[in-house]
């Protein structure tokens, strides 16, 4: 045996059996990521539908507010029910925007 063959034998990687536990962990992680991606897509789809519905309701309340009387007497509360509903829906819309703040 020459020196080159001896060095090659020392540095050769030993033959190992495949690590089944590692393969199972990786497959489980891939399946979990696929489920999370599907769940994330459905959550964003639901979020978009809720945003569109919220905007539609806010627009309707805005139109109702414009149809109301232009001058309110001073003894009445200055916020019409439609404006209060717009404020409530605006706050709800702001809460709904929270998923966008986490970057997903």
> Got the DSSP string for the chain?
--HHHHHHHHHSPPP----HHHHHHHHHHHHHHHHHHHHHHHHHHHHHHHHHHHHHHHHHHHHHHHHS-S---TTS-SS-HHHHHHHHHHHHHHHHTHHHHTT-
pLDDT digits (tens, 9 = 90+) for 83-100: 777 777 777 777 777 655
pLDDT surpasses 70 at 102:
no
What residue segments make up the domains of the chain, in order of their start? 18-101
pLDDT digits (tens, 9 = 90+) for 34-73: 999 999 999 999 888 888 888 887 788 777 767 766 665 5
pTM for this predicted structure = 0.49
pLDDT for position 74: 45
Contact between 14 and 59 (Cβ < 8 Å)? no
């Amino acid at each position: 045996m020459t020196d080159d063959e001896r060095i090659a034998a020392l540095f050769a990687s030993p033959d190992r059996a495949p690590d089944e536990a590692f393969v199972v962990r990786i497959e489980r992680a891939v399946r979990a990521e696929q489920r999370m991606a599907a769940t994330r897509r459905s959550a964003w789809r639901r979020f978009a539908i809720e945003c569109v519905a919220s905007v539609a309701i806010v627009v309707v309340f805005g139109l109702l507010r414009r149809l109301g009387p232009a001058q309110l007497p001073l003894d009445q509360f200055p916020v019409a029910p439609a404006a209060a509903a717009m404020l409530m829906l605006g706050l709800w819309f702001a809460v709904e925007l929270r998923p966008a703040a986490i970057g997903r």
